Amino acid sequence: MNRIGVFVCHCGINIAGVVDIEAVKKAVASYPGVAFARDYTYMCSEPGQDLFRKACTSGEVDGIVVASCSPRLHEATFRHTAAEAGFNPYRVEIANIREQCTWVNSVDPQGATAKAIDIIQSLVERTRRDESLVESTIPVTKKALVIGAGIAGMMTALNITGSGYKVYLLDREPSIGGRMAQLSETFPTLDCAQCIFTPRMVEVGQNRDISLRTYCEVEEISGYVGNFTVKIRHKAAYVDWNKCTGCGMCTEKCPTKVKSEFNMLLDDRKAIYTPFPQAVPNKVIIDAENCLYFRKGRCRICEKTCSLGAVDFEQKDWFEDLEVGAIVVATGFDLYDKENIEEYRLGYSEDVIDGITFERLLSASGPTQGRLIRPSDGRVPEEIVFIACVGSRDPENHFPYCSRVCCMYTAKHAALYKHRVPQGQAYVFYMDIRSAGKNYEEFVQRAVEEDEIMYIRGRVSRMYRDDGKIVVVGADTLSGTTVEVRADMVVLAMAIRPARGLEELVKKLKIQTDANGFLAEAHPKLRPVETLSQGIFITGCAQSPKDIQDTVAQSGAAAAKVVELLSKEQLTHEPIVAFVDEEICSGCGQCEGQCTFDAIELVQRRGNPAMGIPDRTVAKVNEILCQGCGACIVTCPSGAMNQKNFRLEQVYSMIESFI
């Protein structure tokens, strides 16, 4: 291959204003193997593309170098045009003479001109060694798995099935619903969470295209975009869910009481139970840790009670393989444990609670039927303190980020308190009020003005118990004084954290988290629901703290990305991937350990005993999994690993052209 065409783009004055285009053209045109060198003001414009297209179809060249901006901007543009014109797109290369030349050397036009020539010539060397690569194609399994069945996972699943695809909806809890099922009223409209949420739960439960996989955990994930195999563990419920109708007789008869996790330990559940009355699916599980039979070998009252014979003490965990084309992670959040706030600990009692616990106290379906009373003695709190930003926005001691919903739900909590206890006094200690959302600021102002909530701008430095009260000591930074409130109850707006166990799930999925442990998106602005692993998407609080509104919107976006993927008959895969020269490979396996995409495996190659060639082990690249990152290539001690169209020979030729 010795006929390379070169186009030099002026990029207006970005390039032409610094380098001497004519000199560049002249020097490049006489370089060995170059068929022509042409220029144009904007190669990316339609007339520029026309010039390029003509070169592709004329048959005068078998490789093209476009000297212009960074390949990140327009490599795809030119390769796309080439492919449409019937020219192999992988024989088109970009010489970056803007970002790496004219922009950084604008004060030295002569030097920049010489450098531009060098850069183009090095790309000519590489292009003449390029191969005509062909993209590989992969089929797509037209089903999705959504991990986490809170509001984020549920809405994602509903949106995907709305486009006609099937979804497995998985949750580690026995019921779908997640955190939103625990909420009382929701801001800024104060509509009851149950009223707007349980219909959605029923809809999910009845949707024929959604297969629930509750009380399940993700065990192992293999495969790649369009073709994942997810091994899940069905945790032993000790109840045959095919038989159980959720009648509740067993729960009624069970003699063992355990603190209810759903009600934030405010009341009791039984050892055989559903987490809450509206659970979907409405099936019971036995909590083996607390069940009398599992602990002491006697009881089995539930077994005797169940007329359907659903109780099965012999049940074991079992596994199932799910084949899906796309995965959405919607694992939600936990609240930061209040024990981490050292300076408040002397104040802790049953009456110092976090926001979710307060939601359960407010909830009409909660342990008090919505009566606002102190957990410790059942008295109505006359003075109540809400503290915002506990653990959030505190980079030195806890977390640097804003948990984003606390300002709003704290205003909501204080307002709901006042609606239930009109004679009471609510105090809110805050840093700033962040109420940027539709009707949010109005909501906070109503709480301040109409509900007469005392907003105190400052942090609480400590609290302690005194005569059944909790003394809250804080600063009022607007008046410059110290404030002490003798409160009956304190509600802490604890920082939002990724749900427990996300770290392990992330390792199985091979996706990334950010510095705070939340899932990392592929691009913070332009690819907010994708991950760097193709086919895996994210939504909800697992990605960052956010409210219901934003979660629902983001879940729509995640579903759209899933549908975009599943709607394709097949996927194409970029052919610029690693490959092994088996003649040189010694099978040491170092590349295998380096690969974060599991794209390399060691395989056996039969030798020829007659010719004295023994069997040997060599590395093999799975071209579909390989993302072309190059980590294996720099690791390979023998140079057996190479990247297509980035072969060592090509890189050396580029370096030589500079010397």
Partner 1 sequence: MSVLELSYMPGCTLKTKAKNFETTTLRLLELLDVQAEELPDWYCCGTTYSLASDNVINQLGPIRTLVKAKESGREELLVLCSMCYNTLRRAQELVRSDEEKRSKINEFMYDEETDFSGDEVRVVHLLTLLKEEIGFEALKQKLLKDAGDLKVAAYYGCMLLRPREIAVDPVPEHPSILEDLFAACGVESVYFPFRTECCGSYQTVNEKQVVISRTRAITESAVKNGADLIVTSCPLCYYNLDAYQPKVAEATPGFRRIPVMYVSQILALLAGLEETQDFNLHVVDPRPVLREKGLIGKDAVAAGEGE
Site string for partner 1, 286-325 (x = CB under 8 A): ----------------------------------------
Q: Which amino acid is at 174?
A: P
- The residues near 184 (Cβ < 8 Å, ≥ 6 apart) are 192, 193, 359, 360, 362, 363, 364, 366, 370, 416
User: Least distance in Å: CB of 481 to partner 1?
Assistant: 15
Distance CA 19, CA 14 (A): 9
Instruction: Give the nearer residue to partner 1 in terms of CB position, either 253 or 345.
Output: 345
Instruction: Give the nearer residue to partner 1 in terms of CB position, either 350 or 466.
Output: 466
Distance CA 275, CA 150 (A): 14
Helices and strands (H, E) in the chain, number of each type: 18, 34
Site string for partner 1, 347-386 (x = CB under 8 A): x---------------------------------------
User: Least distance in Å: CB of 485 to partner 1?
Assistant: 15
Instruction: Give the nearer residue to partner 1 in terms of CB position, either 346 or 634.
Output: 346
Distance CA 36, CA 16 (A): 19
Instruction: Give the nearer residue to partner 1 in terms of CB position, either 341 or 496.
Output: 341
Residue 242, classified by CB atoms within 10 Å of its CB into exposed (0-12), middle (13-18) or buried (19+), is: exposed
Proportion of the chain in helix, strand, coil states, percent, rounded to 5: 30, 25, 40
Instruction: Give the nearer residue to partner 1 in terms of CB position, either 233 or 465.
Output: 465
Q: Which amino acid is at 645?
A: N
Answer yes or no whether residue 486 interacts with partner 1 by CB under 8 A: no
Instruction: Give the nearer residue to partner 1 in terms of CB position, either 473 or 560.
Output: 473
Please list every residue from 445 through 464 that binds partner 1, using CB under 8 A: 462, 464
User: Least distance in Å: CB of 473 to partner 1?
Assistant: 10
The single residue among 196, 471, 560, 588 that binds partner 1, judged by CB under 8 A, is 471
Please list every residue from 526 through 545 that binds partner 1, using CB under 8 A: none
CA angle 347, 348, 349 (to 5 degrees): 120
Which residue stretch of 77-85, 267-275, 343-351, 578-586 sits at the interface with partner 1 (rule: CB under 8 A)? 343-351
Q: How many CB atoms lie within 10 A of CB 297?
A: 8
- The residues near 236 (Cβ < 8 Å, ≥ 6 apart) are 288, 315, 316, 317, 318
The footprint of partner 1 on this chain (CB under 8 A) covers a number of residues equal to 10
The single residue among 13, 29, 346, 436 that binds partner 1, judged by CB under 8 A, is 346
User: Least distance in Å: CB of 483 to partner 1?
Assistant: 16
Q: What SS3 class is residue 656? A: helix
- The residues near 569 (Cβ < 8 Å, ≥ 6 apart) are 139, 140
CA terminus-to-terminus distance, the chain: 22
The single residue among 3, 142, 465, 568 that binds partner 1, judged by CB under 8 A, is 465
Site string for partner 1, 406-445 (x = CB under 8 A): ----------------------------------------
The single residue among 135, 466, 615, 656 that binds partner 1, judged by CB under 8 A, is 466
Give the largest Cα separation in the chain, rounded: 98
Structure tokens at 121: 């010539």
Which residue stretch of 131-139, 206-214, 345-353, 547-555 sits at the interface with partner 1 (rule: CB under 8 A)? 345-353
User: Least distance in Å: CB of 391 to partner 1?
Assistant: 13
Q: Which amino acid is at 291?
A: C
The single residue among 50, 323, 343, 476 that binds partner 1, judged by CB under 8 A, is 343
User: Least distance in Å: CB of 345 to partner 1?
Assistant: 5
Q: Which amino acid is at 513?
A: T
User: Least distance in Å: CB of 341 to partner 1?
Assistant: 8
Checking DSSP bridges between strand 285-286 and strand 318-324, what pairing results, if any? unpaired
Which residue stretch of 184-192, 320-328, 338-346, 371-379 sits at the interface with partner 1 (rule: CB under 8 A)? 338-346
Q: From 155, 217, 159, 208, select the one nearest 540 (Cα to Cα).
A: 155
Q: From 413, 410, 412, 391, select the one nearest 402 (Cα to Cα).
A: 391
User: Least distance in Å: CB of 497 to partner 1?
Assistant: 20
User: Least distance in Å: CB of 48 to partner 1?
Assistant: 57
Kindly report the backbone phi and psi dihedral angles of residue 586, in degrees, each rounded to the nearest multiple of 5, phi listed first: -100, 0
User: Least distance in Å: CB of 488 to partner 1?
Assistant: 17
Instruction: Give the nearer residue to partner 1 in terms of CB position, either 431 or 471.
Output: 471
The single residue among 46, 289, 314, 342 that binds partner 1, judged by CB under 8 A, is 342
Spell out the SS3 assignment of 167-233.
EEEEECCCCCCCCHHHCCEECCCCEEHHHHHHHHHHHHHHCCCEEEEECEEEEEEEEECCEEEEEEE
Please list every residue from 194 through 253 that binds partner 1, using CB under 8 A: none
Instruction: Give the nearer residue to partner 1 in terms of CB position, either 129 or 465.
Output: 465
User: Least distance in Å: CB of 416 to partner 1?
Assistant: 30
User: Least distance in Å: CB of 347 to partner 1?
Assistant: 8
Kindly report the backbone phi and psi dihedral angles of residue 502, in degrees, each rounded to the nearest multiple of 5, phi listed first: -65, -35
In Å, what is the CA distance from 504 to each residue of 219, 221, 231, 510, 512?
A: 10, 12, 15, 10, 11
The single residue among 345, 457, 510, 605 that binds partner 1, judged by CB under 8 A, is 345
Instruction: Give the nearer residue to partner 1 in terms of CB position, either 446 or 462.
Output: 462
User: Least distance in Å: CB of 358 to partner 1?
Assistant: 23
Which residue stretch of 7-15, 158-166, 344-352, 375-383 sits at the interface with partner 1 (rule: CB under 8 A)? 344-352
User: Least distance in Å: CB of 389 to partner 1?
Assistant: 17
Structure tokens at 232: 């899940």
**Which positions lie near partner 1, rule CB under 8 A?**
342-343, 345-347, 462, 464-466, 471
